[in-house]
Amino acid sequence: MPEFVTVEVSDAIATIRIDRPPVNALDATAQRELVAAAAEVSHRADVDAVIVTGGDKVFAAGDDIAELAQLRPGDAPAIAAEVQAALGCLTTIQQPTVAAISGYALGGGLELALGCDRRIIGDNVKLGLPEILLGVIPVGGGTQRLAALIGPGAAKDLIYTGRFVGATEASELGLVDQVVPPDEVYAAARRWAVQFVGGPRRALAAAKAAVDAGLLDPASGYRTERELFAALCDTDDMREGVRSFLAAGPGRARFTGR
């Protein structure tokens, strides 16, 4: 039985729910379960649309930093490939997908949500890719999908600074598609999903594949992301970023450029 990720199907709509208290950090187990959930719903004949959600206070607050602290540089290339595949697993779902985001979607949590066709958030949400504060870069597809979604300039600003954006700025950037009151996020996602119930499933899958094929060049962009992340895992800055985060929280590291 899955420990942190569940799948529920109701009226031809599947809900993939992340539940790993307190902040839904996406450790290796949660990532494997997300991959399994994505594969399950994609191949179910009784599913016409998919909602991905977390808790009321947090969608997913990124990767498990304690796991990152234990990462040996020699293992980084293989781990980076696994993380990239796991956090990109929602893109493999054939049906229309929507992320219902409450609270925080940070780091790997935002990267996961970027794999959905649509993102609906509460007006209290904070979004960001703060990996730079750890001395590394996003490795779950964030450098590629964010730039494709909001343009390279805006994407570089968010990735370079690691800053969080609220609902208004996220909407203005095109990072999200709809902003609603926090207690209406899931209902809004379901209203969007229900329009595809009983629809032309094969045509929808074809439309999705055609659009996505023109957005990215996985052979170059994703490979480059993995290689650069792996190289950063053997730097003093990465070790200081992780040490500082675990000791005092984000944004307090003193980097040396080594």
By annotation, the residues acting in catalysis are: 111, 131
**CA pair distance 224, 137, nearest whole angstrom:** 11
Number of other residues whose CB lies within 10 A of the CB of residue 243: 13
Q: Are the beta carbons of 60 and 103 closer than 8 angstroms?
A: no
Q: Which helix (H) or strand (E) holds 80?
A: helix 76-87
- Residue 91's CB is within 10 A of a number of other CB atoms, namely 19
99 and 120 Cβ atoms separated by less than 8 Å: yes
Place of tokens 């080594």: 258
* One-letter amino acid for residue 223 of the chain: R
What's the rounded Cα separation, in Å, for the pair 11 and 49? 10
Q: What is the DSSP letter of 164?
A: E
